[in-house]
Amino acid sequence: MRKEELQKAKDYKYGFTTDVESIRAPKGLNEEVIKFISKIKKEPAWMLDWRIKAYNRLKKIKEPNWQKPKYPKINYQDLYYYSAPKSAKDKPKSLDEVDPKLIETYNKLGIPLKEQEKLSGVAVDAVFDSVSVATTFKDKLTEKGIIFCPISEAIQKHPNLVKKYLGSVIPVTDHYFATLNSAVFTDGSFVYIPEGVRCPMELSTYFRINASETGQFERTLIIADKGSYVSYLEGCTAPMRDENQLHAANVELIALDDAEIKYSTVQNWYPGDKDGKGGIYNFVTKRGACRGKNSKISWTQVETGSAITWKYPSCILQGDNSVGEFYSIAITNNHQKADTGTKMIHLGKNTKSKIISKGISAGYADNTYRGLVDINKKALNARNYTQCDSLLMGNKCGAHTVPYIKNKNYCSIVEHEATTSKINEDQLYYCNQRGLNQEEAIGLIVNGFCKEVLQQLPMEFAVEAQKLVGISLEGSVG
């Protein structure tokens, strides 16, 4: 390998591609491609109709452009909308039947499925490009009546649940990227927790973008029936590539009466190189509906990757006494950009929301917190607390806070606190004097800054995330 290639490989640990032959839909976005996807997924007619409806809507609307990070125009006709590892066409019945090349990729990522199955108690629905190739722990979950499967499987096997809830939180007409996803989504996870069931393990999906020039359009739907509980983990890495890649996933959560959903994300996609070339566009729509009384949805995200991160995991607090939480760490280094935050829509009485956002900028990066707290006229005694902290490293980066607050009744309380600070040279000196090198010191200080969010993560994620926080900022202080 040439020296610079070696350096690149070193810079991004997960920057490798697996040589697996791919089945692809022809380039471009049209009805034929949507029919191709629907057909290859063996979808019923109602699903295809749903997609076509979204596509027709898409033709009439434009991309939003109010966000802070600008990006070059995306040519939607120049993308592939379906790409699957060929060997997954005949679905494997067990892990033994999975393409060894895929298993090798997972091993490089540090998620050997077989060992995970035994050791960690985490059920992994691994998505490689667009097709789910292996689902583990199914039996244990089936015992409790829990459904955890690729959404393409759920469309065939549980059409009533899918019909009832798909698009019920993010309508097909919502906005450009959500509508695009509705038209062309390929796969993703489906979770249903029956009434009164507490899911006995963390459910986890690893997404991975692989084939060149393939946009990722994942679709996730999680339903927690009355009195149930589930914690879901999403972690991502992607191989390095020079061309920008669009990722427009949709995630919908529904919590019925007394149910709770905890959704945690660690996002570590290819951020582009030091000069801002390449990297993923992470334009994701995540929204949860606390539909039942006393329900709760909690989003935790650690966003360290992608060239541009543009997302607002939100909660619609419909049920009385329902609770929405958003804990976020967004780290941007070099030329990365993030415009992220949340929306808390209070509709029910006594609804509560809490927003804790930690933004860290280094290099030439730009980090924006944008959030909406909207308290409806009928949401009596609603309560919101928002805290936005920004940490700057160096003097070429930016941090911005854009809170929108709408309080439409007389008895609700909204609090907003925001701080901006610079990493302090004397703090670094103090750590150095105790034997910590520069990177250890930064890792320590930044982890301290993010503590309130990190401690929301499930154990197995927290350790990984703490390391990631340090790694993401390597070389950011001279």
Partner 1 sequence: MLEIKNLKASINDKLILKGLNLNIKDGELHAVMGPNGSGKSTLANVLSGKNGYEISGDLKFKGQSLAEIPVEERAQKGIFLAFQYPLEIPGVNTNNFLKTSLNSVRKATGKKELDTLSFLKLVKDKSLELGIDEKILSRQLNVGFSGGEKKKNEILQMKILDPAFSILDETDSGLDIDALKIIAKGVNSSRANNKSFLVITHYQRLLDYIKPDFVHVLSDGKIVKTGCSDLAKELEKTGYKKIN
Nearer of residues 436 and 471 to partner 1, judged by Cβ: 436
Crossing angle for the helix pair 438-449 and 425-433, to the nearest 10 degrees: 120
How long is the chain?
A: 478
Nearest to 274 by CA among 363, 212, 366: 363
Query: Helices (DSSP H) in 70-197: which residue ranges?
Result: 100-109, 113-119, 138-143, 151-157, 159-165, 176-184
Enclosing H/E stretch for 374: strand 366-375
> With respect to partner 1, which residue has the nearer C-beta, 65 or 433?
433
- Report the alpha-carbon distance of residue 327 to residue 220 in Å, rounded: 20
- Rounded least distance, CB 471 to partner 1, Å: 16
Torsion angle (degrees, nearest 10) of CA 37, 222, 200, 111 = 40
Would you tell me which residues interact with partner 1 (CB under 8 A)? 424-427, 429-438, 440, 444-445, 447-452
**Buried residues in 163-174 as b, exposed as e (16+ CB within 10 A):** eebbbebbebeb
Q: Which residues contact 45 (CB under 8 A, 6 or more apart)?
A: none
415 or 452, CB closer to partner 1? 452
Q: Shortest Cβ distance from residue 340 to partner 1 (Å)?
A: 21
Pick the closer one to partner 1 by CB: 422 or 451. 451
Q: Which is nearer to partner 1, 157 or 422 (CB)?
A: 422
Kindly state the smallest distance separating residue 435's Cβ from partner 1, in Å.
Answer: 4
Supply the minimum distance, in Å, between the C-beta of residue 442 and partner 1.
12
Q: How far apart are CA 421 and CA 358, in angstroms?
A: 11
| Cα–Cα distances in angstroms (integers) from residue 319 to residues 20, 297, 302, 365, in the given order | 47, 12, 28, 39
CB closer to partner 1, 277 vs 451: 451
Q: What is the DSSP string of 42-54?
A: T--HHHHHHHHHH
Query: From the CB of 205, what's the least distance to partner 1, in Å?
Result: 30
Least CB distance to partner 1 at residue 429 (A): 6
Q: What is the DSSP letter of 77?
A: G
Residues in contact with 321: Cβ distance below 8 Å, sequence separation at least 6, in sequence order: 293, 294, 348, 349, 350, 351, 352
Closer to partner 1 by Cβ: residue 272 or 443:
443
Rounded Cα gap, residues 398 and 124, in angstroms: 37
Tell me how far, at minimum, the Cβ of 474 lies from partner 1, in Å: 16
CB of 452 to partner 1, least distance (A): 8
Shortest Cβ 419–partner 1 spacing (Å)? 10
Nearer to partner 1, 100 or 435 (CB): 435
Among residues 63 and 439, whose Cβ is nearest to partner 1?
Answer: 439
Contact partners, residue 71, CB within 8 Å, separation at least 6: 244, 281, 308
In the numeric block, which tokens belong to residue 57?
A: 């809507």
